[in-house]
Amino acid sequence: MRSPLPTALPGCVLRPWRAADKPELIAQANSRAVWRNMTHTFPHPYTPEDGDLWLAIAANPGASLQLAIEVDAGVAGGIGAIAGEGIFQATAQFGYWLGEAYWGRGIASAAARALADHVGAEGLFARLEAQVFEWNPASMRVLEKAGFARDAVLRCAATKDGRLIDTVLYSRVFPNP
């Protein structure tokens, strides 16, 4: 995807990451509160070197989608779908994050809906999956608003922030063309 993907929220688009996004990326990502809701691949503290590594990955996503969430011409966070491999090639791991200054404004819901709808309309994947930590009901609501269904509670599935916790698995499935 080369051109911005609009969302239902005015001033909010999904677009490819740019090298010039590095300062805003670091500023938004360098938050313990953001890190606490992300997988082990999202570092804290978030350093300039982490920003360089991420921008290099996002520049060559292969079959995956890695997009910046832009709000009023500023980087608010990121969203993506990581392509599965082998027998899981029709499934992508779906995820998103926002800098704390952007929480509670409907941005994540608009971005998640826009990307999931795009994936379905373009036939990119048959299934999107997302796991949410048990302590993050706001993210569960985002997924539900984006058309995802709660599939399961995975008991004692993750260790995060020094705790063994449950995760909640959500999916959105697209009908065969």
pTM score: 0.96
Distances (CA, A) of 42 to 62, 91, 111, 114: 20, 21, 19, 23
Q: Which domains does the chain have, with CATH numbers?
A: 5-126 (3.40.630.30)
**Res. 1 pLDDT band, cuts 50 70 90:** low
Going by pLDDT thresholds of 50, 70 and 90, the confidence category of residue 143 is very high
pLDDT for position 176? 73
| Confidence band of 105 (pLDDT split at 50, 70, 90) | very high
Q: How far apart are CA 80 and CA 78, in angstroms?
A: 7
